[in-house]
Amino acid sequence: MLDIAFVKPALPRGGALVLPVAEDSGGLGGLAADLDAAAGGALKRALAAAEFKGRKGQSCTIWAPMPDGAAGPSRIVAVGLGKASELSAEAAEAAGGAALPQVRSEREATVAADGMPPELAAAFAMGMALRGYRFHRYRTQEKDEDKPKLERVSLATGSVPDAKAAWAPMRAVAEGVFLARDLVSEPPNVLNPETMADRCRDLEKLGVQVEILGPKEMKKLGMGAMLGVAQGSVNEPRIAVMQWFGASGNGNGKKAKPQGKPVAFIGKGVTFDTGGISIKPAGGMEDMKFDMAGGAAVIGLMAALAGRRAKVDAVGLVGMVENMPSGNAQRPGDVVKTMSGKTVEVINTDAEGRLVLADVMSYCQDRFQPAAMVDLATLTGAIIVALGHEHAGLFSNDDELAARITAAGKGTAEACWRMPLGDAYDKQIRSDIADMKNVGGGRQGGSITAAQFLQRFVGGGGKDKDKGKNGGDGQQHLPWAHLDIAGTAWTTKDLPSVPKGATGFGVRLLDRMVAAHYEG
Ligand code: BES
Ligand code: MN
Ligand code: ZN
């Protein structure tokens, strides 16, 4: 991650100078005006000549702006903030993201953020940090001149303490996003259920309590659906259970006094999805390394919550398996018994994510009786048909929870669009020989029938002994939401705060939702 600092306004002696400019700001002020004066008015003239107006997304680079012999930046990058009256944290972040590629060949950059409130200076820094992400572990032959050189960004602000205070938790969230992106970017021969579980264990350093379940435990718990998916692979499945006691804990995340109901996050962690015996076509199959992006988001989220010492009790569970064809693989037609006791006829072995989530959701409810439960999964190609790459599909049995997630998405550039649930869809997963089948009749509404499948494991998640407990038999309502992130986990084009590749979608969204509603 970029080294981000907040400093008192002063003209930099070298490196890049970034100038965030609002559209109707009426000329340059503060540092920018000082610089313009030092450069003999060259800055204003250059911006006018480039027709730079400060519009959103607009940027303009001025090279070697200083007169001979004068100390100063080697380039100035003006970036548009849009209308001053509409200036928001999202706009500041997007401008920071847009600025980053223009300055990454300099070792240092200074941002003249002295004209904006300190929280927006921090948001601008967030955009630069997030856009500056790179996954380069496996490059060995990159030429020096192609490597980004930017190491340090100093934001000049009128209030250094306020900007620093705003940045500290944002930095922890950015670390969580980076962790999620790293996990998603790893190739599937490196990241398998076991090595992914190791990465979960690393969160212990942050004060997260981590347990890993293996196939033995899963067998004992009756997780036939999870084990059915796993059985075709030589890589054993794992379930990670991560607990952060930020509300009831003693300040370092360790449980101190009895805990109230936690908020629960569940992720699909299919480290590679070949489809199994219902094998996928070869074209684009390599993309299926990102079929663990829901799990990565949960891990990144737990790291973010712990990293910023969030005052919340949260649990994160990730079901990690590899979906492979083999002589021992699950067949279309198999019937498996889930932890809930419900049986599933496996019509298509490529609809494996819902099988994994079903057992992890039951385990979560049985063990934690959560106050709310949100799952994230690259669950269906159908959600991409419906929403493209612009929104994640949001399914929920609870209007309030759905509204909270939607609102959090608007503030974090992780947009969600609510999709319907209903009996007419549920009927489509009835089986002739078992309690349900794992796919609907046809391809239509495929992301909805997948969500219906999951909903069958919300409430009544446990066996008879759990009747009456929250989530035990549907007697008490358990707010649940499912995010289908198949279209948003990966981007093939650069976005303001996301270079192309793994997005880390879900970390910022759910961190924001927790901050707004679940921290006491
Ligand atoms: N992991 C896929 C869904 C997916 C597709 C994610 C494309 C990202 C991009 C999931 O396991 C899957 O294969 N779903 C099937 C379901 C079908 C068999 C009912 C699908 O979407 O085709
Ligand atoms: Mn699949
Ligand atoms: Zn899958």
* Per-domain residue ranges of the chain: 3-157, 172-517
Find the 382 Cα to ligand 1 centroid distance in Å.
Answer: 8
pLDDT means per 10 residues, the chain with 520 residues, are 97 95 86 92 94 93 91 95 93 97 96 96 98 96 92 97 98 98 98 98 98 98 98 98 92 68 98 98 98 99 98 98 98 98 98 98 98 98 98 98 98 96 98 98 94 93 38 70 98 97 98 96
| CATH topology agreement for domains 3-157 and 172-517 | no
Pocket of ligand 1 (CB under 6 A): 273, 291, 348, 350-353, 378-382, 439, 446, 486
Distance CA 15, CA 302 (A): 36
pLDDT digits (tens, 9 = 90+) for 134-165: 999 999 999 988 899 999 999 999 999 999 99
- Those residues with Cβ within 8 angstroms of residue 155's Cβ, 6 or more apart along the chain or in another chain: 4, 5, 6, 7, 110, 111, 113, 121, 122, 124, 125, 163
CB 55 within 8 A of CB 457: no
Q: Compute the radius of gyration of the chain from its Cα atoms.
A: 25
Ligand 1 atom, smallest distance to 438 CA: 19
Full-model pTM = 0.96
Q: Cα of 416 to ligand 2 centre, how many Å?
A: 22
Whether 120 contacts 30, CB under 8 Å: no
Best residue among 380, 447, 503 to mutate for probing ligand 1, ranked by most atoms within 8 Å of CB: 380
The predicted-structure confidence for 248-298, as pLDDT tens digits, reads as follows 987 677 766 666 899 999 999 999 999 999 999 999 999 999 999 999 999
Cα–Cα distances (Å) from 73 to 18, 35, 38, 70, 198, in that order, read 10, 9, 11, 10, 45
* Fold of the domain built from segment(s) 3-157: Leucine Aminopeptidase, subunit E; domain 1 (3.40.220)
Q: What is the DSSP letter of 279?
A: P
Gap between the Cα atoms of 456 and 421, Å rounded: 12
Residues, the chain: 520
Ligand 1: residue of 278, 350, 482, 503 to mutate (most ligand atoms within 8 A of CB) is: 350
Question: Could you tell me which residues are beta bridge partners of residue 167?
Answer: none
pLDDT tens for residues 227-261?
999 999 999 999 999 999 999 987 677 766 666 89
Question: What is the amino acid identity at position 483?
Answer: L
Task: Pick the closest to residue 412 from 491, 507, 303, 479 (CA basis).
Answer: 507
- Ligand 2 center to residue 316 CA distance, Å? 22
Superfamily of domain 172-517: Zn peptidases (3.40.630.10)
Give 88's strand partners.
none
What does DSSP assign to residue 43? H
- Those residues with Cβ within 8 angstroms of residue 355's Cβ, 6 or more apart along the chain or in another chain: 225, 226, 228, 229, 336, 338, 344, 346, 438
Q: What pLDDT is attached to residue 469?
A: 42
How would you classify the pairing of strands 372-377 and 335-337?
A: unpaired
Taking CA atoms only, the protein residue closest to ligand 1 atom 16 is: 351
Residue 34 sits at φ, ψ, to 5 deg, of -60, -45
